[in-house]
Chain A
Amino acid sequence: MIELQDALRKKEIWAIGGGKGGIGKSLITGNIGITLARLKKKVLLVDADLGGANLHTTLGIGVPEMTLSDFLNRRVENINDVIIKTSIPNLNLISGAQDFLDAANPNFAQKTRLLRHLETLDADYILLDLGAGTSFNILDFFLFSDHGILVVLPEPTAIENAYRFIKSAFYRRFKKVVANQNIKDLIDAAMDQKNTMGIRTPFDLIERVKSMEREVGEILELEVLKFRPKLVVNQVRTKNDVQIGFSMKSACQKYFGINLEYLGYVEYDDCVWQSIRSKRPLVIEYPYSRPARCIERIVHNLLRKEQMTLSMLY
């Protein structure tokens, strides 16, 4: 009963992903969490980077005693038992799985149990720090959240992975809403960029599906409109780097037909790596630094459901 009441409470789940490793997902998650907690919101950070967890380190916490693996292994039944209190008021953490080999590949039952329990947790905001790559587990966490946030660097490698991530998440979502096995196979085939059917973009796919079953195609079209990932450009050094966010937004609109929301950017600054080395969170160690300000702006945009506009550039 208590669980039900908790679930009914208004709560938002944000997932932070991006495809590539080392682009600052954990750093941004941790610092967004701290900023939110300082605004008197009850925040729970969840390190969903199974198999590569280090969110606790960005918060300056040593290897925790209770981790997600205890929950996944059923050493504890209730997910509330693995929540660790941090030194920052209102901020709690569920640390990622550490110790067992299979942690990175939870089976279907483990994953659904985790997602089910996450929904019952008591917090205003639950932030999921996703791992790198586009494995089904990561995509499912991303699609499960209310807001999916993508982190990129202004580098071709990170951008390539971000697009692949969007595409994978997108097609996985498609596959969930269709029941027809033929269409599922078609979506699988379309994932392959070199497919023989001439399906290059999501538009081609939807058209093909429509020719098979009109209604399903229309459902997919609706899904496209509902899918609104958000974008953060990290390690921005020049104005052109800031511009990349707008460019990606435009390219996504034209290629996928999806509305990518440009939340903001984080400037490059030496204080970031210095704070990581000293194992103290950036917004606490250097609260007045430019990256910390950028993170505040991102949180502001998230809370107000706003995004960057071009006029901010000129």
Chain B
Amino acid sequence: MLKKIDDMNYYELLEVSYRATPQEIHKAYERVRKIYDPNSIALYSLFSPEETEKIRQRVEDAYRTLIYDENRRDYDRTLRDIPPLPETPQPELRYQQRPLAAPQRTPRMAEPTVPAAEPRAEEPQQQQVPAQPPMPAAAQPAPADITEFSGSVLKMMREQRGLSIRSVADTTKLSTRFIEGIEEENYKKLPARPYIRGFLVLYARTIGYESDRIVSDYMKRFDAAMNPPKK
């Protein structure tokens, strides 16, 4: 399909896929912005200064829209109204297929490691699964029905999103060791307290949840384990 620059959507303008992560979008933006810089010689004789300025403005708009999860979701919705958009339906299909397998897997994976407190948290999770796609465009609030975000619960939430430890490690740029440490609650594998806090924020965002409740809850567990009440 031939497309004029005015007809390109924000994804085409930034030359990223519809599934691009915020990091990818940011990188693409930096790159495209450099290309359409008024001093860029690669444009020489092709676009007039006014046209370059117009493209720059659109690139800025595109970035501001796609980098904020909320704006991006709104924008994606407007895109879906436009019929010729071949790329988007495919990822959607993939979303729907994954949860079918996931609910069967989760209880089995969770059971051996989950301590007595867990089943309580697990049941509502299972019901939720088919309703929500594994990876929403923006962070969701952490599920209200889970009261205790232990390592194994986090692991389960990650698996429901269809993410491997490797892929979380790639996105967060953390070592797989630390991610395993968080999920196993093996605090010896992990660095000092403030670092863990930061890791958890990244982890929560990567699996598509808001981090505040998850982090504070997990840190409470961490503190309890590290400083057992003196008797």
Contacts and interface: CB of A to CB of B under 8 A. Distances in A.
B2 A251 contact: no
A155 B41 contact: yes
Interface in A241-255: 243-244, 246-248, 250-251, 254-255
A221 B2 contact: yes
A203 B4 contact: yes
B46 interface: yes
A224 interface: yes
Contact of B42 (A201, A221, A224, A251): A251
A286 interface: no
Nearest to A201: B4
B40 interface: yes
B24 to A, nearest CB: 11
A243 B32 CA distance: 11
A159 interface: yes
Interface string A15-47: 000000000000000000000000000000000
Interface residues of A, number: 24
Nearest to B41: A156
Contacts of B41: 154-156, 159, 244
Contacts of A243: 34
Contacts of A93: none
Contacts of A163: 44-46
A203 to B, nearest CB: 5
A250 B15 contact: yes
A248 B2 CA distance: 18
A77 interface: no
B100 interface: no
Contacts of B46: 163, 251, 255
B45 A251 contact: no
Contact of B2 (A154, A225, A310): A225
A26 to B, nearest CB: 24
Given A203-B4, A206-B2, A257-B3, A251 B43 contact: yes
A228 interface: no
A156 B44 contact: yes
Interface in B2-41: 2-5, 8, 15, 31-32, 34-35, 40-41
A62 B15 CA distance: 49
B47 interface: yes
A160 interface: yes
A160 B44 contact: yes
A164 interface: yes
B14 to A, nearest CB: 10
B66 interface: no
Interface string A219-239: 001001100000000000000
Contact of A247 (B4, B5, B40): B40
A274 B3 CA distance: 46
Given A203-B4, A254-B5, A257-B3, A247 B45 contact: no
Interface in B31-89: 31-32, 34-35, 40-47, 55
Nearest to A156: B44
Given A156-B41, A159-B44, A163-B46, A251 B3 contact: no
Contacts of B32: 250
B4 A251 contact: no
Contacts of B34: 243, 247
Interface in B200-226: none
A236 B158 CA distance: 46
Interface in B171-197: none
A278 B44 CA distance: 35
A251 B37 CA distance: 12
A29 B43 CA distance: 26
A163 B46 CA distance: 7
A86 B55 CA distance: 51
A156 B42 CA distance: 7
Contacts of B55: 254
Given A254-B55, A255-B47, A248 B42 contact: yes
Contact of B35 (A203, A224, A250): A250
Contacts of B45: 156, 159-160, 163-164
18 contacts: A154-B41, A156-B44, A159-B41, A159-B44, A159-B45, A160-B45, A163-B46, A203-B2, A221-B2, A244-B41, A246-B35, A247-B35, A248-B42, A250-B35, A251-B47, A255-B46, A257-B2, A257-B3
Given A160-B45, A247-B35, A255-B46, 13 more contacts: A154-B41, A156-B44, A159-B42, A159-B44, A159-B45, A163-B46, A201-B4, A203-B2, A244-B42, A246-B35, A247-B40, A251-B46, A257-B4
